[in-house]
Amino acid sequence: MAEKVLMKGNEALAEAAIMAGCKYYFGYPITPQTEVAAYMAKRMPKIGGTFLQAESEVAAINMVLGVAACGKRVMTSSSSPGISLKSEGISYLAGCELPALIVNVQRGGPGLGGIQPSQSDYFQALKGGGHGDYKLIVLAPASIQEMVDLTFKGFDLADKYRMPAMILADGTMGQMMEPVSLELGEVKEYAKPWATTGKATHEGRNIINSLSLSPAQLEEWNINRYERYKIVERDEVMYEEFMMDDAETCVVAFGITSRVAKNAIMEARKRGMKVGMIRPITLWPFPKDALKKAASKVKNFLTVELNMGQMVDDVKLAIDCSKPVYFYGRTGGVIMTPDEVLNKLNEIEKGEAKQW
C-alpha cells in the first residue's frame, strides 16, 4: 500500500483532480471551499496547467464549458450560493453534452445563509438547479479518502457518459483532515471525436452547441440523452450497506450525516435495537433497487440529513411508499449528534414518531 498523507478534504479533492488529469481549474473563492482554489493556484503552474480566478462564478463555469468543448478535463468548485450562480452554465454543459466536474462544498442557505456545513443543496443538485431536461451524476463523499476516490471517479464517469458530474460535499468534508492514500491507478482515456480541437485532428466541423432551431431536433436530443441516463441508472449506482442483515429500521443518510448515523446505529445495536443503514454514494443514480429490496425486510425507514428533509421523497418513491419513512434533520449549519439520532430511533421503536 502506498504511504498515506494527512490532508484536508478540499486539498485532497484538488490533488485527486490533478491526478485524474485535470489541468484546468476556474473558480472564485467562497468559504468553506476556498482551499480548493488556493491549492490549485499553487499546484497548477507547477504541472503546466492553468489556474484562473475568474471575475465571477458565472464567468468561471463558462470557462469550464470552453475547455470541456476542447475535450480536456476541467473542474470548478464553489459553495452553495456560488453553485446557484453557476447553474445556468451547468445547464449549458448538459445541453452541450460536455463532461466536466463541478464541486459543491455545501454551506447553510438559502440566500447568503452561513458558512457552516449543510446538505441543503440536495434539491439543487438532483432536481435541476439549472433549467431544462437534464441530470447530473452526483457523488456524495463521506470521508477524505472518498473525496479523493470520488473525484477521480467523477472525471471518469463524466467522460464516459459525456455529461457533467458533481461532487456534493459539505463544509465538514472540505475542512476536516484525515489520512489518505493517493494511489489511484491509471487514468482511463476516452476518445473525444466531437471535441473542437481543429481541423488537423478531425474531419469536417465540430460544433458544440445547446441551441436547436428545430423543436423536433431538440426533442430528439433530449430523448437520446435520457436513453443514456438509463444506462447510467443501470450501471453506475454506488451505495454502502451497514448492518442491514437483520435490520428492522433502515437509516438512509449520505456524506457527513452518515458518519453521525453510523455512531448512533452502533449505540442502538448495543441496546439491542435492530438498526442498519443504506448510504447512497451516488445520489444520482439513486440506489432505488437497494432501498426497494430493503423495504421487503425492514419495518421503517429514517432519513438523516442536514436540511429540512429533501431526500425523503426519493426514499418514498424508491420503496413505493410501502413502509413508513421518518426524518431527522438539522439545518442552517448545525450538525446533529449521534444522541439526537438515537432519540429519534427510540421514538420510532416506541411508535411515537410522526411520519414525514
Partner 1 sequence: MFDKRVTVFMGHYGSGKTFTAVNYALALAKLGKPVSIYDLDIVNPYFRTVDALETLNKNGVELVVSPFAETNVDIPAMNAKSYKMVDDKSRFAVADIGGDDRGALALGRFADKIKEENDYDALFVVNPFRPETRDVEGAIQVKEEIERAGKLAFTGIVNNANLGLETNIEDVLKGLEFAEKLSKVTGLPIKFSAVRRDLISEKTEIIKEILPIDPIKYGDWL
Where does this chain bind partner 1 (CB under 8 A)? 4-8, 11, 15, 31-32, 35, 108, 113-117, 171-172, 175-179, 256, 259-260, 263, 333, 335, 337-338
The least distance separating partner 1 from the CB of residue 120, rounded to whole angstroms, comes to: 14
The least distance separating partner 1 from the CB of residue 338, rounded to whole angstroms, comes to: 5
Between 222 and 263, whose beta carbon lies closer to partner 1?
Answer: 263
The least distance separating partner 1 from the CB of residue 24, rounded to whole angstroms, comes to: 21
Between 32 and 287, whose beta carbon lies closer to partner 1?
Answer: 32
The least distance separating partner 1 from the CB of residue 118, rounded to whole angstroms, comes to: 11
How far apart, in whole angstroms, are the C-alpha atoms of residue 333 and residue 325?
24
Joined together, the cell numbers standing for residue 10 give 478540499
Helices (H) and strands (E) in the chain, counts: 12, 14
The least distance separating partner 1 from the CB of residue 320, rounded to whole angstroms, comes to: 32
Between 177 and 321, whose beta carbon lies closer to partner 1?
Answer: 177
Cα dist from 138 to 84, 163, 202, 217, whole Å? 16, 11, 32, 27
The least distance separating partner 1 from the CB of residue 259, rounded to whole angstroms, comes to: 4
The least distance separating partner 1 from the CB of residue 6, rounded to whole angstroms, comes to: 5
The maximal CA–CA distance of the chain, rounded, in angstroms, is 71
Between 95 and 108, whose beta carbon lies closer to partner 1?
Answer: 108
Cα dist from 198 to 137, 139, 201, whole Å? 29, 33, 6
Q: What is the DSSP letter of 107?
A: B
Rounded to the nearest 10 degrees, how much is the dihedral formed by the CA atoms of 91, 10, 287, 241? 180
Q: Nearest Cα to 10, choosing from 21, 24, 27? A: 27
Whether the Cβ atoms of residue 99 and residue 76 lie closer than 8 Å to each other: no
> Which residues lie below 8 Å from residue 59, measured CB to CB, with a gap of 6+?
26, 28
Between 130 and 333, whose beta carbon lies closer to partner 1?
Answer: 333
Cα dist from 340 to 61, 178, 265, 329, whole Å? 39, 25, 12, 9
Q: DSSP readout, 225-248?
A: HHHHHHHHHHH---EEEES-TT-S
The least distance separating partner 1 from the CB of residue 30, rounded to whole angstroms, comes to: 9
